[in-house]
Structure 1
């Protein structure tokens, strides 16, 4: 019975680790998207940092990416940046890849 319990604990530990990594990737991706949008809005470095944090916080409003897309697209539109929602979604995809790469390199 000990072998089975050991396997169960190992699976639980792997699941927890995978969830932590996924969370870190999404948080880093959101920060990168915030920086991307801030650059398009021509924000100062201090404003860019604050905006990137705000985008990370926006992800906690609801499950999925819609809250981030809504915030970034809305802010870009309000700043008169010529961008469509599809561009924001593409940025999310591209920044996910970049965030995963950065996280793997840092470990």
Structure 2
């Protein structure tokens, strides 16, 4: 019975660890996306960092990625940046992998 309980605790720990990595990777992806969008909007380095933090915070509005997408898309359009919605979605998809790799490499 102890073996079963140890295995169960191991599974629970792995699940918690995986969930934490997913959360960190999503936050990192949103930060990188915010920095990318800030560059297209012509923001200074300081304002780009602030904007990236706003993008990360926007992800807490609702489940999924649509809240982040709407923020980025709306802000880029408001600044007149020549970035299409398809380009934003493509960049979001690209940055998922980049963010995962960064988080995993940090340990």
Question: Please, what TM-score do these two structures have when normalized by structure 1?
Answer: 0.97
Runs of 5+ unmatched residues, structure 2: none
Name the counterpart of 1:55: 55
Deviation at 1:86, TM superposition (A): 1.0
Name the counterpart of 1:77: 77
Name the counterpart of 1:96: 96
**For the residues of structure 2 that align with 1:94 and 1:39, how far apart are their CA atoms?**
17
Question: Please, what TM-score do these two structures have when normalized by structure 2?
Answer: 0.97
Name the counterpart of 2:19: 19
Deviation at 1:79, TM superposition (A): 0.2
- Alignment size in residue pairs: 107
Secondary structure (helix, strand or coil) at the match of 1:43 reads: coil
**For the residues of structure 1 that align with 2:80 and 2:102, how far apart are their CA atoms?**
31
Partner deviation per Cα, 1:36-71 (whole Å, 9 max, x = no partner):
000000101110010000000000000000000000
**For the residues of structure 2 that align with 1:60 and 1:102, how far apart are their CA atoms?**
22
Deviation at 1:82, TM superposition (A): 1.3
